[in-house]
Amino acid sequence: MTDSSDAADIFRQEAGELLEKLEAALLDLERTPGDRDLINCAFRALHTIKGSGAMFGFDEVAAFAHEFESAFDRVRKGAAAPSPDLIAIALNAKDFLRAQIEKPDEASSVIGMCILADLRKLAQGPGGASALASAAAEPLAATPPAERRRWRIGMRFDKEVLVNGSNPLLLLDELRGLGDCRVTVRLDATPALESMDPSACYFSWEAELETTHPRSAVEEVFIFVASEMALTLDELPTGVAAPRSGPAPAAAPAPVEAAPAPVEAAPPAVEAAGAAEGAAKRDAKESATIRVQAERLDEMMDRVGELVIAQARLTQLAAAGASAKGVAEEIERLASSLRDAVMGVRMLPIGSLFGRFRRLVHDLSRDLGKEIELVAEGEETELDKTMIERLADPLIHVIRNAADHGLESPDERRAAGKDPVGRIRLVARHAGAEVLISVSDDGKGLDAKRIRAKAEEAGLVAPSVPLSDAELYQVLFQPGFSTARQVSALSGRGVGMDVVRRTIEGMRGSIDIASEAGKGSSFTLRLPLTLAIIEGLLVRVAETVYVVPLTAVEECVELSSDVDSRSKGRSFLNIRGELVPFLRLRELFAESGDPDPHQKVVIVANGETRIGLVVDQIIGSHQIVIKSLSKLHADAPSFSGATILGDGSVALILDVPHLIASGQAREARLQSTQAKALEAA
């Protein structure tokens, strides 16, 4: 029998998907209020949540969804217009539904009653505020009552329907809610008591229903159990009793209808600040399960089967003392294939994250008084599930900054000859072994002069040090740095962008910034495909082996003896006419002993910045299984993790962005020292 907690988890997962569909339909409906398909899509999602909530024992969810559905039904029938005000309240109702499902103890019934009161007010007709189109109510008064139709409904369920979590009595109650209904039960298939299975369903039912609802509404009652029952639905002529055959059936017990508690006084609706932002974070971080395509699981099973066969061959060869080289190669191939299959299972389309930001942009548009459109591209791009979970916070900060600082008000955009509707583009694409995610806007762009002035005022940049725009924009990620002239509820205190960089670098990624005055800005996040297994370059420094992520490596060159002897103080390599600074890892990690006479330099890059890492030996490339460092190693920022090599030894993985930042800080100190020396002279 299915465990009740498992059934509840299944409901929560399916309800989460339905709530996402509901939110997407509501957001689209605000832009195209006449789209009947969107209205029906939202209504179906609500109806499904109501029915499945009742089946799985979420009675409060079902009751709230029923009231929500009843109010939204007026929109479906054309009696109310899907105005921005009504959509806003509907989105709040959707948020409350999610809270009831995920955190029922925190879902205050008072807030739910307030939301429903506002929803009913906006959907009631002329008496309900500005949201209704006044013309919509007038034809409604003249509309003749809908034709009543009579149906004979036969219902016979599979014996396992109760075991699968369905309750036929709840379906009968829902059927009675459609109109005048008389239900009778048939016991002809009931066995003797001694042979009866208490978990099986032996009853069948027959009902006569008189209703104004269409046939489809009757069929929707049984939408969840259609594969577990035999349903017959025949229309009867009005005024004629339905013919019956067989023995007189026993009368069904009188239905017990649950009525919502009366509301004495509904206070004004309470809107929780940051509901959309919280939803985006929560949806990304609380996705404990993922759905996997069956063919991917089949592929994994095939690889595991081959691996078991190869392991049996290896055991047989080891017992016979024969060479195992061929089997070892076969196991290596299978392990690589199995790794790819498992990584494929963990991959999710990034569109599952992008879709949640539509609500964020919708609410930002209302709060800021700006017309903002979110355009998403590359939603089919796949990324590791863990990466998607950790991307929510950085993208929220970047999108909020684009909306608040980047885009101008509609009046300013008109004055500049632009479309009053500002656009934020969210684009994902693959680039080699990386995924690039860019957030761009068509606003006013970054003010390099103002950033420079603020940076010099804060002591982050020396006045005499020349910086390119790309280098200057990196100052935006310094903690507490902000160019906002006034602090708003959204931003202005310099909090957020430092968190963005820290999170992205913690994922072994980087951020590039590009901007053009009057045309907008673009923030591009460069991320590896996965955080579990990477390609790494093994290098040796003294007697210690380190790993450099191969995605950061551009090339390897030899450090000639004359360059080595000249590089006292400031260390630079001439790489095809470009000066590249380098760090000696032996000095950085305080390794003892004399360096190798033929040292090598590994050129690594982070965005537009390149730096060289001097090592004693380059061992070669290997696939690296990443292991996290413990909290005891939190004060070792030069390393992002560790791995276990084939001989059982441990190799630390170098944190390339941190090493580059260390090199830049060292260069800045040298330039500052030289500038002071020149001033003193």
Mark whether 560 and 671 lie in a shared domain. yes
At 256 the pLDDT is: 37
pLDDT, tens digit, 9 for 90 and up, residues 568-594: 555 788 888 888 888 888 888 888 777
CA-nearest of 452, 465, 456, 471 to 671 is 465
Query: What is residue 47's predicted lDDT score, i.e. its pLDDT?
Result: 83
Q: Could you tell me if 544 and 631 lie in one domain? A: yes
Q: For position 189, what pLDDT does the model report? A: 83
Position 76 scores a pLDDT of: 80
> Is 498 contained in some domain?
yes
Same domain, 420 and 437: yes
* Model confidence pTM above 0.85: no
| Residue 269 covered by a domain | no
Assess whether 332 and 365 both reside in one domain. no
| 3-state SS, residue 634 | coil
Secondary structure string (H, E, C) spanning 66-82? HHHHHHHHHHHCCCCCC
Residue 282 covered by a domain: no
Contact between residue 622 and residue 538 where contact means Cβ atoms under 8 Å apart = yes
The residues assigned a catalytic role are 47, 69, 401
DSSP code per residue over 506-526: HTT-EEEEEEETTTEEEEEEE
Q: Which two tokens stand for residue 668?
A: 């800045």
Instruction: List the CATH number of the domain containing 633.
Output: 2.40.50.180
Q: Which CATH number goes with the domain that contains 53?
A: 1.20.120.160
| 325 domain residue, yes or no | yes
Of 135, 159, 175, which one is at a domain's C-terminal end? 135
- Point out the residues of the chain with pLDDT beneath 50: 1-2, 126-143, 241-273, 282, 284-287, 489, 492-495
> Is position 262 within any domain?
no
Parent domain of 80: 4-135
Supply the pLDDT for residue 450: 87
Residues 524 and 544 in one domain: no
Shared-domain flag, residues 624 and 675? yes
Q: What per-residue confidence (pLDDT) applies to 278?
A: 54
Domain containing 441 — which CATH number? 3.30.565.10
What pLDDT does residue 568 have? 56
331 and 229 within one domain: no
User: What pLDDT sits at residue 279?
Assistant: 53
Q: Write down the H helix ranges in 424-496.
A: 448-457, 469-473
Query: CA–CA separation, 36 vs 557, rounded Å?
Result: 64
Our count of domains for the chain comes to: 5
The answer on 155 and 178 residing in a single domain is: yes
**Cβ burial 442-470 (10 Å sphere, 16+ → b, else e):** bbbbbeeeebbebbeeeebbeeeeebeee
Report pLDDT for 538. Answer: 92
Compute the distance between CA of residue 545 and CA of residue 563 in angstroms, rounded to an integer: 25
| DSSP secondary structure of 557-582 | EE--HHHHHH-SSS-EEEETTEEEEE
How far is C-alpha 401 from the chain's CA centre? 19
